[in-house]
Chain A
Amino acid sequence: VDFADVNGQEMAKRAVTVAAAGMHHLLMIGPPGTGKTLLARRIPTILPQLSRAESLETTQIWSAVGRLNARQPLMVLRPFRAPHHTISEAGLVGGGSTPSPGEISLAHNGVLFLDELPEFNRRTLEVLRQPLEEHCVTISRAMGSLTFPAKLMLVAAMNPCPCGYRGDPRRRCNCTSFQIERYVAKISGPLLDRIDIHVEVPNVPFRELKDDTTGTTSAQMREQVQIARDRQRRRFQREPSTVNGSMTPPQIRRYCKLDAEAEQMLQAAMEEMGLSARAHDKILRVARTIADLDDSETITAYHLQEAINYRTLDRRYWAS
């Protein structure tokens, strides 16, 4: 698999690159058949390999559930987990009378892909909230409580409405506004707020599909990701977090300094869009990653603009 297999969708590929470079959570919205799943399944090809410490952590979890490949004692590639939407709460975050790890822990240091996000049980999705923020999940049972690591990159995909064609210029959407409302309401505001990057994956024009010149390949994207990761490794040399996506608030204040123009832009965006304090931090984290991809130490208005853009979709689809 290679990103070159996906024709067109260069905007989405850019968003995927940013997400992979900083381990940011990603939500893709678009009509059926535009390549959301194809894109998600190719994300592991652009992520850097596991470090030895990361590999030990992930391998230990896989070993504990007996899923390890006997011929590959130490995991080298980042895990990619794509559970079906019928998954239960216990299956997703872990559980049982003697708790065993769930999908989010199997995806530790890798990617958790939730395709058809609104089809998931609402309660199941809500249990994701705390692990996404804390990078671990604590399960308490009568026998005691256990903590499983769950540092992952969440990638989610969904249609804009039940029929899938809302906002598509070529096909008519025949969903009632009530249906649409109920559909998008399955993704709660707090969960949406925790996803750093929202991107639209529209239908590909025929011209781009026919185009024989291949688009951006995995190799090119991996190279960009590596540049950003190298900068992050130098930055966080003596600190617990290793990627921009998991920067703590003090780190954000230290490393995400804006120039005057950018500061003003952020303030305007916050006021206009009614963003939460968490969204503010998320935008700064993403802006930091975009600057890193540009191999730039300072975050300029240009970088910030792109980061804010990744937060505008929820206004469009969730405001009714």
Chain B
Amino acid sequence: MLAKLFTFSLLGIDAKSVEVEVDISPAALPKTILVGLAEAAVKESVHRIERALVNSGYSRPEDRVVINLSPADLPKDAASFDLPIALGLLTASGQLQSELFSRYAVVGELALDGTLRPIKGALAMALAARNQKLAGLLVPARNAQEAAVVDGIDVIAVGSLVETVGFFCEQWTRRSFRGRRRSRSSGDIQWTLPT
């Protein structure tokens, strides 16, 4: 089965849109192939994702898995692809089904126990997601505040793989982060330092 998700790759200080495709087909021997100019941090993600899936109570696919990160000529060097690839694996192996993948982008680094670690460039990714007219962006909880600075995009903070799956199954009450509202009057802007 084929799964398709949206995510972002950081290039300098800007985020570029990346599509994650995961395809699982029956095979005699399990094998995982990762293509799409993945640098070391992304290549290693396969091992993290496998254990995170198992430790979160899902089963890891034992067929031939092809993961494609597109555009193929954009170098990808970040751990933020862990979460979209994991969701792709779940979907392609029939453990998850959601209509929301076409409207929500996902970023996040996985720990082996399935919790999420913060990523770099969440603000740029939120900006890119808004410019791409997506409905929302799922980010690790510790990046939620910086991403929520961007107006006009729904930033959803997730703490773990299980919570993320819950969101896509629409079975989880989400904590939507709203940016701190600033007065819209022109001239001097009043800031409050977050405590």
User: A interface vs B, CB < 8 Å?
Assistant: 49, 51-52, 56, 59-61, 63-66, 68, 70-74, 76, 97-101, 105, 143, 146-148
Interface of chain B, main secondary structure: loop
Given contacts A63-B146, A66-B120, contact A146 B194 (CB under 8 A): no
- Indicate if the CB atoms of B13 and A68 lie closer than 8 Å: no
> Which residues of chain A come closer than 8 Å to B77, judged between CB atoms?
98
Question: Residue B145 at the A interface, CB < 8 A?
Answer: yes
In the complex, the chain B residue whose C-beta lies closest to that of A73 is: B145
- Indicate if the CB atoms of B12 and A63 lie closer than 8 Å: no
- Indicate if the CB atoms of A70 and B12 lie closer than 8 Å: no
| Residue of A52, A61, A71, A74 ringed by the most chain B CB atoms within 10 A | A74
- Indicate if the CB atoms of B182 and A52 lie closer than 8 Å: yes
- Indicate if the CB atoms of B193 and A60 lie closer than 8 Å: no
| Partner of B12 from A52, A66, A72, A146 at Cβ < 8 Å | A146
In the complex, the chain A residue whose C-beta lies closest to that of B74 is: A143
Stretch touching chain A among B20-28, B46-54, B83-91, B122-130: B122-130
- Indicate if the CB atoms of A64 and B118 lie closer than 8 Å: no
- Indicate if the CB atoms of B189 and A64 lie closer than 8 Å: no
- Indicate if the CB atoms of A148 and B122 lie closer than 8 Å: no
> Which residues of chain A come closer than 8 Å to B180, judged between CB atoms?
73-74
> Which residues of chain A come closer than 8 Å to B119, judged between CB atoms?
66
- Indicate if the CB atoms of A59 and B146 lie closer than 8 Å: yes
- Indicate if the CB atoms of B142 and A70 lie closer than 8 Å: yes
Question: Residue B96 at the A interface, CB < 8 A?
Answer: no
Q: How far is the CA of A273 from the CA of B145 in the complex (A)?
A: 54
Interface positions, chain B 2-59, Cβ under 8 Å from A, are 10-13, 39
Beyond known contacts A59-B146, A73-B179, A74-B191: 13 more, CB 8 A cutoff: A52-B182, A60-B123, A63-B123, A64-B123, A68-B123, A70-B142, A71-B145, A71-B195, A73-B180, A74-B180, A76-B191, A101-B12, A147-B12
Instruction: Give the distance to chain B from A311, nearest Cβ to Cβ, in Å.
Output: 34
> Which residues of chain A come closer than 8 Å to B179, judged between CB atoms?
73
> Which residues of chain A come closer than 8 Å to B194, judged between CB atoms?
71-73
- Indicate if the CB atoms of B12 and A148 lie closer than 8 Å: yes
| Partner of A60 from B39, B127, B148, B182 at Cβ < 8 Å | B127
- Indicate if the CB atoms of A68 and B146 lie closer than 8 Å: yes
Question: Residue B136 at the A interface, CB < 8 A?
Answer: no
Question: Can you give 21 contacting A-B residue pairs, CB < 8 Å?
Answer: A49-B191, A56-B149, A59-B123, A59-B149, A60-B123, A60-B124, A60-B127, A63-B120, A63-B121, A64-B12, A64-B124, A68-B146, A71-B194, A73-B149, A73-B179, A97-B75, A98-B77, A99-B12, A101-B12, A147-B12, A148-B13
What is the number of residues of chain B that contact chain A, defined by CB distance less than 8 Å? Answer: 28
Instruction: Give the distance to chain B from A233, nearest Cβ to Cβ, in Å.
Output: 9
- Indicate if the CB atoms of A52 and B189 lie closer than 8 Å: yes
> Which residues of chain A come closer than 8 Å to B127, judged between CB atoms?
60
Q: How far is the CA of A250 from the CA of B124 in the complex (A)?
A: 34
Instruction: Give the distance to chain A from B41, nearest Cβ to Cβ, in Å.
Output: 11
Q: How far is the CA of A71 from the CA of B11 in the complex (A)?
A: 25
Instruction: Give the distance to chain B from A28, nearest Cβ to Cβ, in Å.
Output: 30
> Which residues of chain A come closer than 8 Å to B189, judged between CB atoms?
51-52
Given contacts A52-B189, A64-B121, A76-B191, contact A98 B13 (CB under 8 A): no
Q: How far is the CA of A64 from the CA of B125 in the complex (A)?
A: 9
| Partner of B120 from A64, A71, A74, A105 at Cβ < 8 Å | A64
Q: How far is the CA of A63 from the CA of B75 in the complex (A)?
A: 19
> Which residues of chain A come closer than 8 Å to B142, judged between CB atoms?
70
Instruction: Give the distance to chain B from A4, nearest Cβ to Cβ, in Å.
Output: 23
Q: How far is the CA of A143 from the CA of B12 in the complex (A)?
A: 12
Q: How far is the CA of A73 from the CA of B123 in the complex (A)?
A: 9
In the complex, the chain B residue whose C-beta lies closest to that of A49 is: B191
Mask: chain B, 139-183; 1 = CB below 8 Å from A; 0 = not: 000100110110000000000000000000000000000011010
Q: How far is the CA of A69 from the CA of B127 in the complex (A)?
A: 19
> Which residues of chain A come closer than 8 Å to B11, judged between CB atoms?
98, 146
Instruction: Give the distance to chain A from B10, nearest Cβ to Cβ, in Å.
Output: 6
Given contacts A49-B191, A59-B146, A98-B11, contact A65 B75 (CB under 8 A): no
Q: How far is the CA of A70 from the CA of B144 in the complex (A)?
A: 9
In the complex, the chain B residue whose C-beta lies closest to that of A99 is: B12
- Indicate if the CB atoms of A63 and B191 lie closer than 8 Å: no
> Which residues of chain A come closer than 8 Å to B118, judged between CB atoms?
66, 70
Closest 8 CB pairs of A and B: A73-B145, A146-B12, A66-B120, A63-B123, A64-B13, A64-B121, A73-B146, A76-B191
- Indicate if the CB atoms of B75 and A143 lie closer than 8 Å: yes
> Which residues of chain B come closer than 8 Å to A73, judged between CB atoms?
145-146, 148-149, 179-180, 194
